[in-house]
Amino acid sequence: MKLGPTEFVYVRSMGKALRITAICSSVTEANDYCERHVDEGVIAEFGPLVFIANLYDKGVAIPR
């Protein structure tokens, strides 16, 4: 499922918040999505869900 322009989900990684652009329910679905969207890649997996973000997203720093 591709998230809309008003839907925001973030994953915390390496001290930054990275915006998720799509959520897939399987690795196969995620691979198909990434093949069609070359600027996007898998950022995290949580159970059966695969989270995808833009490869060029520098993230938002999260203060400690």
Q: Is residue 2 part of a domain?
A: no
Does 48 fall in a domain?
A: yes
pTM: 0.83
Average pLDDT on 9-34 reads 93
37 within some domain? yes
- Looking at the domain assignment, is residue 26 inside a domain? yes
Spell out the residues 6+ positions from residue 1 whose beta carbon is closer than 8 angstroms to its own: 22, 23, 24
> Mean pLDDT, the chain, as a whole number?
91
Confidence at residue 43, expressed as pLDDT on a 0 to 100 scale: 93
- If one counts the domains in the chain, the total is 1
- The parent domain of residue 46 ranges over 9-61
Q: Is the pLDDT of residue 19 over 80?
A: yes
pLDDT tens digits for range 33-42: 999 999 999 9
Position 27 in a domain? yes
Backbone phi, psi, residue 3, to 5°: -80, 145
* Residue 4 falls inside a structural domain: no
In a domain, 43, yes or no: yes
Q: Is residue 3 part of a domain?
A: no
